[in-house]
Amino acid sequence: MNIRTINANGIKIAYVTSSDKLIIDVQSALDLLATVSYQADSNRIIINKSEVCDEFFDLKTRLAGEVLQKFINYQTKIAIIGDFSSYSSKSLKDFVYESNNGKDIFFLPDEDQAIEKLSKA
């Protein structure tokens, strides 16, 4: 796991990359939160969609809800970046839309948009 710290508008954002999946279950999400908090002193995270297991995007598994609730509980904002157009599930599209209109969880196409969203207070 590599963590690159980005400073935008005086806010630290951790861009985490890995050749392995970073989120495969609730515990791996908690490990990611703890690692970023400790190593980067940040409560804002960017990760690539490829670093999140496929089950996360199948809302029937409830994994997305359980994982993202941990981010909310620990007051950590996250942006998952990538191309989400390949998903045909209406419920997932609605979930992404609602998340992007909130202030804590985002599904965005690229790093620049993620930085823009996460750098707002």
Mean predicted confidence (pLDDT) in 79-107: 94
Per DSSP, 14 falls in state: E
- Reported confidence tier of residue 120, pLDDT bands at 50, 70, 90: confident
Who contacts 23 (Cβ-Cβ below 8 Å, separation ≥6)? 29, 32, 47, 51, 52, 53, 56, 67
Q: Find the distance separating the first CA and the last CA of the chain, reported in whole Å.
A: 27
Question: What DSSP string runs through 44-87?
Answer: EEEEEGGGB-GGGG-GGG-HHHHHHHHHHHTT-EEEEES--TT-
Going from N- to C-terminal start, the domains of the chain cover: 2-118
pLDDT in tens, 32-81: 999 999 999 999 999 999 999 999 999 999 999 999 999 999 999 999 99
CATH annotation of 2-118? 3.30.750
* CB neighbours of residue 65 within 10 Å: 11
Q: What is the pLDDT of residue 117?
A: 96
Q: Is the pLDDT of residue 121 over 70?
A: no
